[in-house]
Amino acid sequence: MRSVGSGCRLSARKLGGLFNALEMRIEDGGDSPVVNGLLLDALPAGIRRQVDERTAQRALSAIEAFARDEARRWEQVRAGTLPPIELTLEERLDADVKI
């Protein structure tokens, strides 16, 4: 029989996997609105399974805000009006780009 602690760790790992999948899809440029939407739908469900609604509220609000931003970004992609990506200083240093 699994202890309560190990169940929480396993569920936390699953949530981390969802976050990592979403992050990698966006970072690698292989994201799609359908896949990102499915991942964004799964996150609140996983969070609600871990904690009560009140405790989860900040995380759920952040996910909703991100989902709105993603919807706007995909509208811009489809319209061809996506602004150019500006690398941060850290990203430029990582890419060995001269400043």
Reported as a single tens digit per residue, the pLDDT across 24-69 is: 887 776 678 888 889 889 999 989 888 889 999 999 999 999 899 8
What pTM does this model have?
0.67
**Helix 4-27 × helix 33-50 angle, to 10°:** 160
pLDDT interval class at 4 (50, 70, 90): very low
35's enclosing H/E stretch is helix 33-50
- Please report the pLDDT score of residue 3 as a whole number: 44
Distance CA 80, CA 69 (A): 16
Distance CA 56, CA 39 (A): 17
Distance CA 28, CA 40 (A): 17
